[in-house]
């Protein structure tokens, strides 16, 4: 056990990030379990603690009497320098034990810009960065989360990566590790990795060889032993009603990013937005039964004392039994002072009604995501929302008393012209005018947030060349010039961060060197603008003799082997190509939950079914 | 309506949480315990709960006081049992009673706080320590510049001292007993008193490693000094 001396804790900001003891946290005696697991998200405590997947795994793993699961997050820069100065290794929050003493260390990879933190945390833990350098006494380093569907840039650092939902596969992994330990670690680390590679949904990168063409593209990625499958396919939970959920989540002392109960109504989204990676990775839609949700919600209020429930799913307003569910939640939990909130609103007036009913969304702000300014562009991305929809929704909101609206957009989408970009401004002004028309007053506040589109693997836009940073900046200026109204606030994303995110999103295994060099030269917390060091990254690319533009802004042909072609989300390449072509032709694809199956391949391929209770009734 | 007044602790386990976070930890414990707390009216209702005095990050306490307004009265021992089961490590209930009628706010009546501050000694010679404490206690005025994000402010430390500072010499450490007045126009923090002792009276201690513990909060007048739970 590590002791943290007061001088250190007195000096850092938010020392409670490092001291644990939160309600519902679980401390087990390590001598009484077979397997110890450190669960991590490579970002600061407040971000890490807000991740639903890790909350679920924490509960599932700790339900096992043979397993102890603990947490560790990236120490903030001030704490890191205190730790390095005092030779304090990375430690978990429950037992304050060094992470290097655990059997398994799992990182949730949510975002490419957190990769440098993974290396930094391994280093702080005193664990060799490369899988090839680790011996039998060292932890197994596991990755999970959306980035694993192309984790090639971090492949050399991970022993294995989990594709898809973790509930079941994580238990399989623990069983394998436990058996291996009991066998006296038979055949060493490689023996274990070969066993693990046979588990469905687990990718062991070291068991695959990558070769490249002269032009730098991937020639092939093939297993180098018979234990590894040619293609690793994601895991899905067939019925969410029967798996364990995070009903006893840890209640932090600090104000974290999502400091409330998260009630996950369903997984997946079938609206089929063509830019959306989550929409593909979490297919098909599987809803929880309303009665199960209600029971879970009550349990969570009792176990946490939180007074706010957030309905979290990719598009919560699509839940088939939403109105009834919301009504029952509000009725049953009103007494305990509990309110319900809907983080994502669909752009229609029905949502406003609901928002009013839950009375939670403060009259200060409503958020909509038209994603693109022009109708043409929204058709390209298959957003399936018309200007009329937006007008109706915003009008309903203004009539109901709201006066502040946030609008989310992307720029740099396929086929985008300057006119499309400028339509974003027109929409913003239209919203202001609507307020005037409806209330007879001025004074609506519109926030326009525009991010830079990053094409992601496993989406129909995976072949598309991302805009150059300079092009993004030009478009941002264009829009900025148009949005000169004191009632409009314009936020935009840093184009250079998006550029690097893009390079890593579609990167191959060679980027591991770039990552290593950038980290060695001080890169960490790259997702935090105050710590993002663009030049360090560019220098690291140069030193590795690799070109970031090759990865980010190059158009790929349909024939090219993608670095993630051996990793399957269940959606076929045919489907993605079809969707790309439809996009260019501005043709829509319908919602496969409510209308007809668009033949993405997931349901038959994985033997799962769309579960939509509203349709079954 | 009845108010439940509690005497509670802030222990080592939660030393580094802020006052606001300590307050919400209490609120959540009350919800978990299913106690019938009253809420304010309005769009964003909040629990009717109030504290005697804020405690800084890094400070522990054996005597914090809160009032929680109830919609209905629950039998006292029942309420205490239920709440005890819902409290995170580091918060214990040391006393509880119902207050009836027009109860003045804790914040308004508490006017004395007592602390123990413990820190490593940097000198062998006990005499040096005793001297610096004596000079401090005998000084007419001790001006101190408070620096905060809001700016600098000159304060007079001695006007807030309720008692002479006392010391206990421990093995390689020293413990100071500091009694501080809380006045309507302000107060001084125990850490600031120690800082003044180090800066101006050369107290040879490792101030980086100081540990502050609140030993009591009192209502004090000419006749007597009582805690809010005894008043
Ligand atoms: S296979 Fe058909 S129904 Fe299933 S997720 Fe794909 S498009 Fe939807």
**CA-closest candidate to residue B113, choices B29, B215, B184:** B215
**CA-closest candidate to residue A476, choices A503, A453, A504, A455:** A453
Which of B18, B25, B44 lies closest to A362 in CB terms?
B44
Atom of ligand 1 nearest to the CA of A284: 5
Which conformational region is residue A20 in: left (phi greater than 0), alpha (psi within -120 to 50 degrees), or beta?
Answer: left
pLDDT of residue A338: 85
**Which of the 8 DSSP states describes residue A359?**
T
**CA-closest candidate to residue B214, choices B13, B64, B106, B110:** B64
**Token pair listed for A586:** 């501005």
Q: Is A603 touching ligand 1 by the criterion CB < 6 Å? A: yes
The answer to whether A6 contacts B209, with C-beta atoms less than 8 Å apart, is yes
Torsion A26-A249-A268-A612 (CA) sign = positive
Going from the Cα of A459 to the center of ligand 1, the distance in angstroms, rounded, reads: 15
**Token pair listed for A40:** 């991590």
Q: What is the mean pLDDT of chain B?
A: 94
The whole-angstrom distance between B109's CA and the closest CA on chain A is 28
Q: Is A606 touching ligand 1 by the criterion CB < 6 Å? A: no
B23 touches chain A (CB under 8 A): no
Q: Is A342 touching ligand 1 by the criterion CB < 6 Å? A: no
Name every chain A residue with its beta carbon within 8 A of the beta carbon of B30.
305
Rounded to whole angstroms, the Cα distance separating A293 from A264 reads 8
pLDDT band, residue A350 (cuts 50/70/90): low
The secondary structure element, H or E, covering residue A535 is helix A534-543
Atom of ligand 1 nearest to the CA of A600: 6
Going from the Cα of A353 to the center of ligand 1, the distance in angstroms, rounded, reads: 30
Which conformational region is residue A538 in: left (phi greater than 0), alpha (psi within -120 to 50 degrees), or beta?
Answer: alpha
ipTM for the predicted complex comes to: 0.91
pLDDT tens digits along A569-614: 999 999 999 999 999 999 999 988 888 899 999 999 999 988 887 7
Q: How do beta strands B211-220 and B112-120 pair?
A: antiparallel
A86 touches chain B (CB under 8 A): no
pLDDT of residue A362: 46
Going from the Cα of A601 to the center of ligand 1, the distance in angstroms, rounded, reads: 6
pLDDT band, residue A368 (cuts 50/70/90): confident
Cα B17 to chain centroid distance, Å, stands at 14
Q: What is the mean pLDDT of chain A?
A: 93
Percent above pLDDT 90 for chain A: 83
pLDDT tens digits along A208-266: 999 999 999 999 999 999 999 999 999 999 999 999 999 999 999 999 999 999 999 99
Rounded to whole angstroms, the Cα distance separating A189 from A132 reads 10
Contact (CB, 8 A) for A37 and A181: no
A303 touches chain B (CB under 8 A): yes
Q: Is A566 touching ligand 1 by the criterion CB < 6 Å? A: no
pLDDT of residue A385: 86
Pocket residue to mutate for ligand 1, from A234, A610, A615, most atoms within 8 A of Cβ: A610
pLDDT of residue A361: 42
- For residue A15, the chain B residue with the least C-alpha distance is B16
B181 touches chain A (CB under 8 A): no
In angstroms, the first-to-last Cα distance of chain B is 19
Among B19, B20, B25, B31, the residue to mutate for chain A (most A Cβ within 10 A): B31
Q: Is A132 exposed, middle or buried (0-12, 13-18, 19+ CB in 10 A)?
A: exposed
pLDDT band, residue A617 (cuts 50/70/90): very low
Rounded to whole angstroms, the Cα distance separating B137 from A509 reads 69
Q: Is A572 touching ligand 1 by the criterion CB < 6 Å? A: no
pLDDT tens digits along A380-416: 999 988 888 888 888 888 888 888 899 999 999 999 9
The answer to whether A6 contacts B14, with C-beta atoms less than 8 Å apart, is no
Going from the Cα of A593 to the center of ligand 1, the distance in angstroms, rounded, reads: 8
A205-208 contacts, C-beta under 8 A, 24 or more apart: A205/A131, A205/A151, A205/A152, A205/A155, A205/A156, A205/A158, A205/A160, A205/A161, A205/A509, A206/A131, A206/A132, A206/A155, A206/A156, A206/A159, A208/A566
Report the nearest-CA residue for atom 3 of ligand 1: A597
Name every chain A residue with its beta carbon within 8 A of the beta carbon of B37.
337
A337 touches chain B (CB under 8 A): yes
B92 touches chain A (CB under 8 A): no
Atom of ligand 1 nearest to the CA of A283: 5
Which conformational region is residue A484 in: left (phi greater than 0), alpha (psi within -120 to 50 degrees), or beta?
Answer: beta
Name every chain A residue with its beta carbon within 8 A of the beta carbon of B57.
15-16
**Token pair listed for A139:** 């932890």
Name every chain B residue with its beta carbon within 8 A of the beta carbon of A93.
none
pLDDT of residue A270: 84
Contact (CB, 8 A) for B60 and B8: no
pLDDT tens digits along A48-62: 999 999 999 999 999
A304 touches chain B (CB under 8 A): yes
pLDDT band, residue A359 (cuts 50/70/90): low
A334 touches chain B (CB under 8 A): no
Q: How do beta strands A160-162 and A140-144 pair?
A: parallel
pLDDT band, residue A615 (cuts 50/70/90): low
Residue A547 has pLDDT above 50, yes or no: yes
Going from the Cα of A598 to the center of ligand 1, the distance in angstroms, rounded, reads: 6
Name every chain B residue with its beta carbon within 8 A of the beta carbon of A358.
none
Q: Which residues of chain B have pLDDT under 70?
A: 43
Mean pLDDT, residues A159-172 taken together = 98
The answer to whether A336 contacts B31, with C-beta atoms less than 8 Å apart, is yes
**CA-closest candidate to residue A511, choices A557, A536, A534, A545:** A545
Residue A479 has pLDDT above 60, yes or no: yes
Name every chain B residue with its beta carbon within 8 A of the beta carbon of A337.
31, 37, 39, 45, 47
- For residue A12, the chain B residue with the least C-alpha distance is B16
pLDDT of residue B68: 97
Contact (CB, 8 A) for A261 and A249: yes
pLDDT of residue A358: 66
Which residues is A594 bridged to in the sheet? none
Torsion A190-A191-A193-A194 (CA) sign = positive
pLDDT tens digits along A9-62: 999 999 999 999 999 999 999 999 999 999 999 999 999 999 999 999 999 999
Contact (CB, 8 A) for A495 and A476: yes
The whole-angstrom distance between B183's CA and the closest CA on chain A is 27
Query: How far, in Å, are A3, A53, A248, A251 from residue A26 at the CA level?
Result: 19, 17, 10, 12
- Chain A window 213-252: which residues touch B at a Cβ cutoff of 8 Å? 251
Report the nearest-CA residue for atom 6 of ligand 1: A600
Name every chain B residue with its beta carbon within 8 A of the beta carbon of A362.
43-44
pLDDT of residue A348: 66
Residue A337 has pLDDT above 90, yes or no: no
Residue A64 has pLDDT above 60, yes or no: yes
């Amino acid at each position: 056990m590590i002791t943290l001396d007061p001088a250190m804790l007195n000096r850092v900001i938010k020392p409670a990030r490092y001291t644990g003891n939160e309600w519902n946290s679980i401390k087990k005696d390590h001598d009484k379990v077979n397997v110890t697991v450190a669960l991590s998200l490579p970002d600061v405590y407040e971000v890490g603690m807000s991740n639903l997947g890790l909350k679920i795994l924490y509960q599932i793993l700790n339900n096992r009497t043979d397993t102890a699961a603990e947490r560790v997050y990236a120490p903030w820069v001030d704490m890191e320098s205190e730790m390095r100065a005092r030779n304090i290794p990375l430690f978990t929050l429950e037992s304050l034990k060094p992470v290097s003493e655990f059997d398994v260390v799992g990182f949730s990879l949510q975002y490419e810009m957190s990769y440098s933190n993974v290396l930094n945390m391994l280093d702080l833990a005193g664990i060799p960065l490369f899988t090839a350098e680790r011996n039998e006494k060292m932890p197994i380093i596991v990755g999970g989360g959306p980035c694993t569907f192309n984790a090639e840039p971090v492949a050399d650092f991970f022993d294995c990566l989990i594709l898809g939902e973790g509930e079941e596969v994580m238990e399989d992994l623990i069983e394998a590790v436990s058996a291996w330990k009991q066998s006296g670690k038979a055949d060493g680390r490689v023996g274990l990795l070969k066993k693990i590679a046979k588990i469905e949904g687990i990718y062991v990168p070291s068991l695959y060889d990558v070769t490249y063409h002269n032009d730098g593209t991937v020639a092939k990625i093939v297993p180098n032993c018979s234990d590894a499958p040619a293609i690793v396919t994601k895991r899905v939970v067939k019925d969410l009603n029967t798996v364990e959920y995070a009903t006893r989540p840890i209640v932090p002392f600090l104000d974290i990013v999502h400091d409330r109960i998260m009630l996950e109504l369903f997984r997946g989204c079938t609206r089929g937005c063509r830019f959306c990676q989550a929409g593909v990775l979490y297919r098909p839609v599987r809803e929880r039964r309303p009665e199960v949700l209600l029971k879970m919600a009550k349990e969570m209020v009792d176990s946490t004392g939180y007074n706010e429930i957030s309905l979290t799913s990719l598009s919560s307003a699509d839940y088939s039994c939403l109105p009834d569910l919301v009504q029952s939640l509000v009725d049953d939990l009103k007494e305990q002072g509990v309110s319900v909130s809907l983080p994502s609103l669909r752009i229609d007036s029905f949502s406003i009604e609901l928002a009013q009913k839950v009375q939670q969304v403060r009259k200060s702000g409503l958020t909509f995501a038209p994603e693109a300014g022009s109708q043409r562009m929204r058709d390209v991305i298959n957003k399936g929302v018309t200007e009329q929809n937006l007008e109706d929704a915003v009008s309903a909101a203004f009539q109901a008393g709201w006066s502040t609206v946030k609008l989310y957009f992307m720029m740099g989408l396929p086929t985008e012209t300057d006119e499309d970009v400028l339509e974003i401004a027109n929409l913003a002004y239209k919203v202001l005018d609507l307020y005037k028309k409806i209330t007879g007053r001025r004074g609506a506040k519109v926030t326009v947030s525009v991010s830079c589109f990053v094409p992601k693997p496993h989406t129909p836009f995976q072949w598309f060349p991302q805009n150059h940073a300079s092009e993004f900046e030009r478009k941002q200026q264009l829009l900025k010039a148009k949005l000169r109204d004191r009632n409009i606030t314009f936020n935009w994303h840093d184009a250079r961060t998006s550029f690097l995110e893009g390079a890593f999103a579609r990167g191959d295994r060679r980027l591991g060197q770039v990552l290593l060099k950038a980290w060695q030269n001080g890169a960490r917390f790259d997702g935090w603008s105050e710590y993002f060091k663009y030049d360090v990254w560019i220098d690291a690319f140069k030193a590795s003799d690799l070109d970031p533009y090759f990865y980010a802004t190059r158009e790929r042909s349909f024939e090219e082997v993608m670095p993630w072609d051996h990793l399957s989300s269940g959606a076929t390449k045919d489907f993605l190509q079809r969707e790309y072509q439809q996009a260019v032709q501005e043709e829509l694809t319908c919602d496969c939950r409510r209308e007809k199956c668009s033949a993405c391949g997931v349901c038959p391929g994985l033997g799962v079914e769309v579960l939509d209770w509203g349709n079954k009734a | 309506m009845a108010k439940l007044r509690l005497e509670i602790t802030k222990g080592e386990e939660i030393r580094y949480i802020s006052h606001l976070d300590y307050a919400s930890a209490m609120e959540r414990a009350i919800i978990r315990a299913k106690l019938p707390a009253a809420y304010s009216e309005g769009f964003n209702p909040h629990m009717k709960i109030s504290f005697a005095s804020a405690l800084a990050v890094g400070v522990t306490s054996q005597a914090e006081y809160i009032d929680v307004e109830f919609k209905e009265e629950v039998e006292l021992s029942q309420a205490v049992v239920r709440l005890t089961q819902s409290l995170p490590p580091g918060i214990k209930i040391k006393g509880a009673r119902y207050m009836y009628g027009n109860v003045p706010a804790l914040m308004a009546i508490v006017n004395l706080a007592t602390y123990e501050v413990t820190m490593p000694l940097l000198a062998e010679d006990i005499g040096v320590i005793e001297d610096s404490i004596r000079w401090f206690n005998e000084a007419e005025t001790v001006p101190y510049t408070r620096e905060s994000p809001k700016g600098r402010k000159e304060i007079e430390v001695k006007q807030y001292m309720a008692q002479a500072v006392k010391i206990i010499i421990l093995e390689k450490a020293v413990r100071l007993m500091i009694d501080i007045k809380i006045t309507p126009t302000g107060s001084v923090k125990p850490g600031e008193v120690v800082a003044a002792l180090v800066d101006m009276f050369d107290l040879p201690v490792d101030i980086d490693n100081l540990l502050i513990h609140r030993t009591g909060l009192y209502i004090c007048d000419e006749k007597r000094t009582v805690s809010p739970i005894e008043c």
